[in-house]
Amino acid sequence: MRVSVINGPNLNLLGTREPDTYGTETLAGLEARVATWAQNMGIQVSLFQSNDEGAMVEEIHAAADDDGIVINPGAFTHTSRAIADAIASVEAPAVEVHISNVMAREPWRASSVLDGVALRTIFGRGVVGYRDAMRLLVNLRVPSTTIRYGPHPENVGELRIPDDPTGLVVLLHGGFWLREYSRDTMDSLAADLIAHGFASWNIEYRRSGTGGSWPGSGHDMKSALDFIPQIDGVRDTPIAVIGHSAGGYLALWLSTRADLALTVGLAPITDLEAAASQGPGQEAATDLLSRGAPSVMTGGRSDIFLLHGGDDQIVPVEHSTHLEAAVRVEIMENMGHFELLDPSRAHWPLVLESLTSAFS
Ligand code: DQA
Protein backbone atom coordinates (compact mmCIF):
# COMPACT_ATOMS: atom_id res chain seq x y z
CA MET A 1 0.00 0.00 0.00
CA ARG A 2 1.40 3.42 -1.04
CA VAL A 3 0.52 6.71 0.67
CA SER A 4 1.81 10.24 0.02
CA VAL A 5 2.02 12.55 3.00
CA ILE A 6 1.98 16.17 1.83
CA ASN A 7 2.59 19.15 4.09
CA GLY A 8 1.96 22.72 3.00
CA PRO A 9 3.24 26.21 3.80
CA ASN A 10 4.95 27.07 7.07
CA LEU A 11 4.92 23.48 8.27
CA ASN A 12 8.68 23.43 7.61
CA LEU A 13 8.84 25.70 10.68
CA LEU A 14 7.20 23.18 13.00
CA GLY A 15 9.03 23.05 16.30
CA THR A 16 9.60 26.80 16.51
CA ARG A 17 6.40 28.05 14.91
CA GLU A 18 3.76 28.96 17.53
CA PRO A 19 4.62 25.98 19.76
CA ASP A 20 1.60 26.62 21.99
CA THR A 21 -0.58 25.86 19.00
CA TYR A 22 1.45 23.34 17.00
CA GLY A 23 3.67 21.74 19.64
CA THR A 24 7.43 21.38 19.69
CA GLU A 25 7.89 18.52 17.22
CA THR A 26 9.96 19.59 14.18
CA LEU A 27 9.02 18.64 10.62
CA ALA A 28 11.97 16.19 10.57
CA GLY A 29 10.72 14.67 13.85
CA LEU A 30 7.18 14.47 12.51
CA GLU A 31 8.35 12.82 9.29
CA ALA A 32 10.40 10.28 11.23
CA ARG A 33 7.34 9.37 13.29
CA VAL A 34 5.20 9.15 10.15
CA ALA A 35 7.79 6.81 8.58
CA THR A 36 7.70 4.53 11.66
CA TRP A 37 3.91 4.50 11.83
CA ALA A 38 3.75 3.76 8.11
CA GLN A 39 6.18 0.87 8.43
CA ASN A 40 4.13 -0.63 11.28
CA MET A 41 1.00 -0.41 9.12
CA GLY A 42 2.66 -1.94 6.04
CA ILE A 43 2.53 1.37 4.18
CA GLN A 44 5.18 2.55 1.72
CA VAL A 45 5.15 6.26 2.44
CA SER A 46 6.48 9.24 0.50
CA LEU A 47 7.02 12.50 2.37
CA PHE A 48 6.76 15.97 0.83
CA GLN A 49 6.59 19.54 2.12
CA SER A 50 6.41 22.77 0.16
CA ASN A 51 5.51 26.39 0.73
CA ASP A 52 4.50 26.63 -2.91
CA GLU A 53 0.91 26.03 -4.05
CA GLY A 54 1.91 24.91 -7.55
CA ALA A 55 4.45 22.42 -6.20
CA MET A 56 1.77 20.96 -3.96
CA VAL A 57 -0.59 20.61 -6.93
CA GLU A 58 2.17 18.79 -8.85
CA GLU A 59 2.76 16.47 -5.90
CA ILE A 60 -0.95 15.62 -5.68
CA HIS A 61 -0.90 14.77 -9.40
CA ALA A 62 2.16 12.58 -8.83
CA ALA A 63 0.25 10.72 -6.10
CA ALA A 64 -2.67 9.92 -8.42
CA ASP A 65 -1.94 6.18 -8.45
CA ASP A 66 -1.21 5.90 -4.73
CA ASP A 67 -3.65 4.18 -2.40
CA GLY A 68 -4.12 7.38 -0.48
CA ILE A 69 -2.99 10.91 0.27
CA VAL A 70 -2.60 12.46 3.70
CA ILE A 71 -2.49 16.22 3.30
CA ASN A 72 -2.06 19.14 5.66
CA PRO A 73 -2.40 22.09 3.27
CA GLY A 74 -1.58 24.64 6.01
CA ALA A 75 -3.25 28.00 5.29
CA PHE A 76 -4.02 26.86 1.70
CA THR A 77 -6.76 24.83 3.41
CA HIS A 78 -8.79 27.99 3.66
CA THR A 79 -8.06 29.50 0.24
CA SER A 80 -6.69 27.18 -2.43
CA ARG A 81 -9.28 26.07 -4.96
CA ALA A 82 -6.34 24.75 -7.01
CA ILE A 83 -5.39 22.26 -4.30
CA ALA A 84 -9.02 21.25 -3.83
CA ASP A 85 -9.37 20.74 -7.60
CA ALA A 86 -6.16 18.71 -7.70
CA ILE A 87 -7.50 16.36 -5.01
CA ALA A 88 -10.80 16.05 -6.86
CA SER A 89 -8.88 15.26 -10.05
CA VAL A 90 -7.05 12.19 -8.77
CA GLU A 91 -8.44 8.79 -7.80
CA ALA A 92 -6.40 8.48 -4.61
CA PRO A 93 -8.60 9.16 -1.54
CA ALA A 94 -7.30 12.08 0.52
CA VAL A 95 -7.51 12.58 4.27
CA GLU A 96 -7.05 16.20 5.40
CA VAL A 97 -5.07 16.66 8.61
CA HIS A 98 -4.61 19.64 10.90
CA ILE A 99 -2.37 19.53 13.92
CA SER A 100 -4.30 22.25 15.74
CA ASN A 101 -7.99 22.39 16.57
CA VAL A 102 -9.04 24.53 13.61
CA MET A 103 -12.64 24.46 14.85
CA ALA A 104 -11.72 26.25 18.07
CA ARG A 105 -9.51 29.03 16.66
CA GLU A 106 -10.28 32.06 14.45
CA PRO A 107 -13.59 31.45 12.66
CA TRP A 108 -11.97 31.56 9.19
CA ARG A 109 -9.90 28.48 10.08
CA ALA A 110 -13.06 26.44 10.58
CA SER A 111 -13.80 26.51 6.86
CA SER A 112 -11.88 24.38 4.38
CA VAL A 113 -12.06 24.55 0.61
CA LEU A 114 -11.29 20.82 0.67
CA ASP A 115 -14.73 20.19 2.15
CA GLY A 116 -16.44 17.69 -0.09
CA VAL A 117 -13.26 16.57 -1.87
CA ALA A 118 -11.28 15.21 1.07
CA LEU A 119 -12.68 11.93 2.30
CA ARG A 120 -12.38 12.88 5.97
CA THR A 121 -10.72 15.57 8.10
CA ILE A 122 -8.73 14.85 11.24
CA PHE A 123 -7.89 17.89 13.36
CA GLY A 124 -6.86 18.93 16.84
CA ARG A 125 -5.11 15.70 17.78
CA GLY A 126 -1.57 17.03 17.41
CA VAL A 127 0.86 15.14 15.21
CA VAL A 128 -0.79 11.76 15.91
CA GLY A 129 -3.48 12.97 13.51
CA TYR A 130 -1.13 11.87 10.70
CA ARG A 131 -1.02 8.35 12.17
CA ASP A 132 -4.81 8.28 12.47
CA ALA A 133 -5.18 9.46 8.86
CA MET A 134 -2.95 6.63 7.61
CA ARG A 135 -4.84 4.11 9.71
CA LEU A 136 -8.08 5.39 8.20
CA LEU A 137 -6.67 4.78 4.71
CA VAL A 138 -5.58 1.25 5.69
CA ASN A 139 -9.06 0.42 6.97
CA LEU A 140 -10.65 1.68 3.76
CA ARG A 141 -9.45 -1.57 2.24
CA VAL A 142 -12.24 -3.34 4.11
CA PRO A 143 -15.18 -1.92 2.13
CA SER A 144 -18.06 -0.22 3.88
CA THR A 145 -21.24 1.63 3.08
CA THR A 146 -21.99 4.90 4.81
CA ILE A 147 -25.52 4.83 6.22
CA ARG A 148 -27.28 7.99 7.38
CA TYR A 149 -29.55 7.54 10.39
CA GLY A 150 -30.67 11.11 11.10
CA PRO A 151 -30.86 14.66 9.74
CA HIS A 152 -27.58 16.08 11.08
CA PRO A 153 -24.47 15.69 8.86
CA GLU A 154 -22.83 13.74 11.69
CA ASN A 155 -25.71 11.24 11.90
CA VAL A 156 -23.84 8.68 9.79
CA GLY A 157 -21.95 5.45 10.25
CA GLU A 158 -20.03 2.91 8.17
CA LEU A 159 -21.71 -0.43 7.79
CA ARG A 160 -19.73 -3.57 7.03
CA ILE A 161 -21.62 -6.82 6.49
CA PRO A 162 -20.05 -10.26 5.92
CA ASP A 163 -21.99 -13.14 4.33
CA ASP A 164 -24.51 -14.50 6.86
CA PRO A 165 -23.57 -12.22 9.79
CA THR A 166 -24.05 -13.80 13.22
CA GLY A 167 -24.89 -10.41 14.68
CA LEU A 168 -24.48 -6.67 14.34
CA VAL A 169 -22.00 -4.77 16.50
CA VAL A 170 -22.63 -1.04 16.86
CA LEU A 171 -19.40 0.81 17.64
CA LEU A 172 -19.38 4.05 19.66
CA HIS A 173 -16.11 5.93 19.68
CA GLY A 174 -14.71 7.92 22.60
CA GLY A 175 -12.92 11.26 22.95
CA PHE A 176 -14.72 13.02 25.82
CA TRP A 177 -17.61 13.98 23.49
CA LEU A 178 -15.27 16.47 21.78
CA ARG A 179 -15.46 17.29 18.10
CA GLU A 180 -11.80 16.50 17.37
CA TYR A 181 -12.31 12.79 18.10
CA SER A 182 -14.35 10.85 15.62
CA ARG A 183 -15.30 7.38 14.50
CA ASP A 184 -12.07 6.67 12.62
CA THR A 185 -10.64 5.62 16.00
CA MET A 186 -12.93 2.52 15.97
CA ASP A 187 -12.22 1.57 12.34
CA SER A 188 -9.60 -1.08 13.09
CA LEU A 189 -12.05 -2.93 15.35
CA ALA A 190 -14.77 -2.57 12.70
CA ALA A 191 -12.49 -3.97 10.01
CA ASP A 192 -11.55 -6.95 12.21
CA LEU A 193 -15.14 -7.79 13.21
CA ILE A 194 -16.11 -8.61 9.63
CA ALA A 195 -13.23 -11.13 9.43
CA HIS A 196 -14.91 -12.95 12.34
CA GLY A 197 -18.37 -13.04 10.79
CA PHE A 198 -19.86 -10.03 12.60
CA ALA A 199 -21.48 -7.09 10.88
CA SER A 200 -20.43 -3.72 12.28
CA TRP A 201 -21.82 -0.22 12.19
CA ASN A 202 -19.31 2.40 13.24
CA ILE A 203 -21.36 5.39 14.26
CA GLU A 204 -20.66 9.12 14.28
CA TYR A 205 -22.68 11.31 16.58
CA ARG A 206 -22.90 15.00 17.45
CA ARG A 207 -20.28 16.10 19.91
CA SER A 208 -19.46 19.35 21.73
CA GLY A 209 -19.61 22.18 19.21
CA THR A 210 -21.92 20.35 16.81
CA GLY A 211 -25.01 20.10 19.03
CA GLY A 212 -23.75 17.11 20.97
CA SER A 213 -22.50 16.64 24.52
CA TRP A 214 -25.61 15.99 26.60
CA PRO A 215 -28.31 15.18 25.64
CA GLY A 216 -27.37 15.49 21.94
CA SER A 217 -24.80 12.68 21.83
CA GLY A 218 -27.10 10.29 23.70
CA HIS A 219 -30.04 11.28 21.52
CA ASP A 220 -28.07 10.44 18.37
CA MET A 221 -27.02 7.04 19.71
CA LYS A 222 -30.61 6.19 20.47
CA SER A 223 -31.67 7.32 16.97
CA ALA A 224 -28.96 5.13 15.44
CA LEU A 225 -30.19 2.03 17.28
CA ASP A 226 -33.80 2.84 16.43
CA PHE A 227 -32.76 3.04 12.76
CA ILE A 228 -31.35 -0.51 12.56
CA PRO A 229 -34.66 -2.15 11.51
CA GLN A 230 -34.43 -0.05 8.33
CA ILE A 231 -31.01 -1.43 7.31
CA ASP A 232 -31.05 -4.30 4.82
CA GLY A 233 -28.98 -7.32 5.77
CA VAL A 234 -28.91 -6.76 9.54
CA ARG A 235 -32.49 -6.01 10.55
CA ASP A 236 -33.07 -9.57 11.84
CA THR A 237 -29.70 -10.16 13.49
CA PRO A 238 -29.01 -9.78 17.23
CA ILE A 239 -27.33 -6.53 18.25
CA ALA A 240 -24.43 -5.71 20.57
CA VAL A 241 -22.89 -2.33 21.37
CA ILE A 242 -19.19 -1.71 21.97
CA GLY A 243 -18.28 1.71 23.34
CA HIS A 244 -14.83 3.08 24.10
CA SER A 245 -14.23 5.64 26.83
CA ALA A 246 -16.86 8.41 26.48
CA GLY A 247 -18.54 6.13 23.93
CA GLY A 248 -18.57 3.50 26.69
CA TYR A 249 -20.57 5.90 28.86
CA LEU A 250 -23.11 6.18 26.03
CA ALA A 251 -23.08 2.40 25.50
CA LEU A 252 -23.91 1.80 29.16
CA TRP A 253 -26.70 4.36 28.97
CA LEU A 254 -28.10 2.39 26.03
CA SER A 255 -27.77 -0.92 27.88
CA THR A 256 -31.19 -0.35 29.41
CA ARG A 257 -32.71 -1.17 26.02
CA ALA A 258 -34.43 -4.50 25.54
CA ASP A 259 -33.05 -5.08 22.05
CA LEU A 260 -29.35 -5.53 22.95
CA ALA A 261 -27.75 -8.94 23.41
CA LEU A 262 -24.57 -7.50 24.94
CA THR A 263 -22.94 -4.20 25.89
CA VAL A 264 -19.14 -4.06 25.91
CA GLY A 265 -17.41 -1.14 27.61
CA LEU A 266 -13.78 -0.59 26.61
CA ALA A 267 -12.39 1.66 29.36
CA PRO A 268 -15.82 3.26 29.67
CA ILE A 269 -16.43 6.30 31.82
CA THR A 270 -19.06 5.10 34.25
CA ASP A 271 -18.51 7.64 36.99
CA LEU A 272 -18.94 11.10 35.52
CA GLU A 273 -18.41 12.82 38.92
CA ALA A 274 -15.00 11.13 39.19
CA ALA A 275 -14.11 12.11 35.60
CA ALA A 276 -15.10 15.71 36.40
CA SER A 277 -12.81 15.77 39.43
CA GLN A 278 -9.55 14.68 37.76
CA GLY A 279 -7.92 13.82 34.46
CA PRO A 280 -8.00 15.15 30.89
CA GLY A 281 -11.79 14.83 30.60
CA GLN A 282 -12.49 17.10 33.56
CA GLU A 283 -13.90 20.00 31.57
CA ALA A 284 -16.01 17.83 29.30
CA ALA A 285 -17.38 15.74 32.16
CA THR A 286 -18.24 18.89 34.13
CA ASP A 287 -20.07 20.21 31.08
CA LEU A 288 -22.11 17.02 30.74
CA LEU A 289 -23.02 17.05 34.43
CA SER A 290 -24.17 20.68 34.18
CA ARG A 291 -26.49 19.61 31.36
CA GLY A 292 -28.08 16.88 33.44
CA ALA A 293 -26.24 13.82 32.19
CA PRO A 294 -26.45 10.83 34.56
CA SER A 295 -23.58 11.04 37.07
CA VAL A 296 -23.15 7.29 37.44
CA MET A 297 -23.98 4.66 34.86
CA THR A 298 -25.59 1.78 36.68
CA GLY A 299 -26.08 -0.51 33.72
CA GLY A 300 -29.26 -2.03 32.46
CA ARG A 301 -30.99 -4.96 30.91
CA SER A 302 -28.37 -6.25 28.53
CA ASP A 303 -25.39 -8.29 29.75
CA ILE A 304 -22.39 -6.03 30.34
CA PHE A 305 -18.72 -6.85 29.83
CA LEU A 306 -16.15 -4.25 30.90
CA LEU A 307 -12.50 -4.30 29.86
CA HIS A 308 -9.96 -1.81 31.08
CA GLY A 309 -6.22 -1.32 30.60
CA GLY A 310 -4.46 -1.59 33.97
CA ASP A 311 -2.12 1.28 32.95
CA ASP A 312 -4.86 3.62 31.67
CA GLN A 313 -3.94 7.24 32.50
CA ILE A 314 -6.83 8.82 30.59
CA VAL A 315 -9.75 7.04 32.26
CA PRO A 316 -8.32 5.42 35.40
CA VAL A 317 -9.63 1.96 36.23
CA GLU A 318 -11.40 3.32 39.33
CA HIS A 319 -13.58 5.49 37.09
CA SER A 320 -15.17 2.51 35.50
CA THR A 321 -14.95 -0.79 37.29
CA HIS A 322 -17.23 -0.10 40.21
CA LEU A 323 -20.15 -0.89 37.97
CA GLU A 324 -22.15 -3.42 39.90
CA ALA A 325 -24.33 -4.38 37.00
CA ALA A 326 -21.34 -5.65 35.00
CA VAL A 327 -21.54 -9.37 34.47
CA ARG A 328 -17.82 -9.54 33.84
CA VAL A 329 -14.86 -7.21 34.34
CA GLU A 330 -11.35 -7.80 32.93
CA ILE A 331 -8.37 -5.61 33.80
CA MET A 332 -5.73 -6.04 31.12
CA GLU A 333 -2.10 -5.94 32.25
CA ASN A 334 0.34 -3.65 30.41
CA MET A 335 -2.38 -1.88 28.49
CA GLY A 336 -3.33 1.78 28.45
CA HIS A 337 -6.36 3.61 27.11
CA PHE A 338 -5.84 3.41 23.37
CA GLU A 339 -4.49 -0.13 23.10
CA LEU A 340 -8.11 -1.26 23.54
CA LEU A 341 -8.72 0.04 20.00
CA ASP A 342 -6.13 -2.32 18.54
CA PRO A 343 -7.51 -5.73 17.54
CA SER A 344 -4.04 -7.28 17.69
CA ARG A 345 -3.94 -6.84 21.49
CA ALA A 346 -4.74 -9.51 24.10
CA HIS A 347 -8.17 -8.19 25.11
CA TRP A 348 -9.75 -8.51 21.67
CA PRO A 349 -10.16 -12.31 21.54
CA LEU A 350 -12.08 -11.98 24.84
CA VAL A 351 -14.43 -9.48 23.21
CA LEU A 352 -14.90 -11.70 20.14
CA GLU A 353 -15.71 -14.70 22.37
CA SER A 354 -18.23 -12.68 24.37
CA LEU A 355 -19.93 -11.59 21.14
CA THR A 356 -20.08 -15.18 19.88
CA SER A 357 -21.72 -16.42 23.05
CA ALA A 358 -24.09 -13.43 23.26
CA PHE A 359 -25.26 -13.99 19.69
CA SER A 360 -25.69 -17.78 19.95
C1 DQA B 1 -2.90 23.94 10.18
C2 DQA B 1 -4.04 24.89 10.50
C3 DQA B 1 -4.11 26.01 9.47
O4 DQA B 1 -5.18 26.89 9.77
C5 DQA B 1 -2.82 26.81 9.49
O6 DQA B 1 -2.85 27.81 8.50
C7 DQA B 1 -1.61 25.94 9.34
C8 DQA B 1 -1.57 24.67 10.06
C9 DQA B 1 -2.74 22.85 11.28
O10 DQA B 1 -2.02 21.89 11.04
O11 DQA B 1 -3.30 22.98 12.37
O12 DQA B 1 -0.62 26.32 8.73
O13 DQA B 1 -3.19 23.26 8.99
Question: Which residue stretches of the chain are H helix?
Answer: 19-22, 27-40, 53-62, 81-89, 128-139, 187-195, 213-227, 246-254, 272-277, 282-290, 347-359
Q: What is the pLDDT of residue 326?
A: 66
- Is 98 annotated in the active site? yes
* Cα 247–chain centre separation: 10
pTM of the predicted model, to two decimals?
0.95
| Ligand 1 pocket mutation, candidates 5, 13, 76, 77, criterion most atoms within 8 A of CB | 77
Domain boundaries, the chain: 2-139, 145-359
Q: Which residues of 130-146 are buried (b: 16+ CB within 10 A; e: fewer)?
A: bbbbbbbbbbbebebee
CA distance 217 to 208: 9
Q: Which atom of ligand 1 is nearest to the CA of 9?
A: 12
Q: What is the pLDDT of residue 300?
A: 74
For the stretch 118-122, contacts whose Cβ atoms lie closer than 8 Å and that sit 24 or more positions apart, written own/partner, are: 118/71, 118/87, 118/94, 119/93, 119/94, 119/95, 120/95, 120/96, 120/182, 120/184, 121/95, 121/96, 121/97, 122/95, 122/96, 122/97, 122/98, 122/182, 122/184
| Among 317, 295, 313, 303, residue whose Cα is nearest residue 351 | 303
Between the CA of 68 and the centroid of ligand 1 the distance, in Å, is: 20
Q: Which atom of ligand 1 is nearest to the CA of 97?
A: 10
Q: Looking at the domain 2-139, which fold is it?
A: Rossmann fold (3.40.50)
pLDDT along the chain (360 residues), means of 10: 98 97 97 98 98 98 98 98 98 98 96 97 98 98 97 97 96 95 97 97 94 92 97 94 96 92 94 90 94 85 90 87 71 95 98 97
- Is 205 annotated in the active site? no
CA triplet 268, 273, 276: central angle to 5 degrees?
85
CATH topology agreement for domains 2-139 and 145-359: yes
Per-residue CA distances from 297 to 241, 279, 294, 322 (Å): 15, 18, 7, 10
Q: What is the pLDDT of residue 227?
A: 98
Between the CA of 11 and the centroid of ligand 1 the distance, in Å, is: 8
CATH architecture of the domain covering 145-359:
3-Layer(aba) Sandwich (3.40)
Q: What is the pLDDT of residue 321?
A: 59
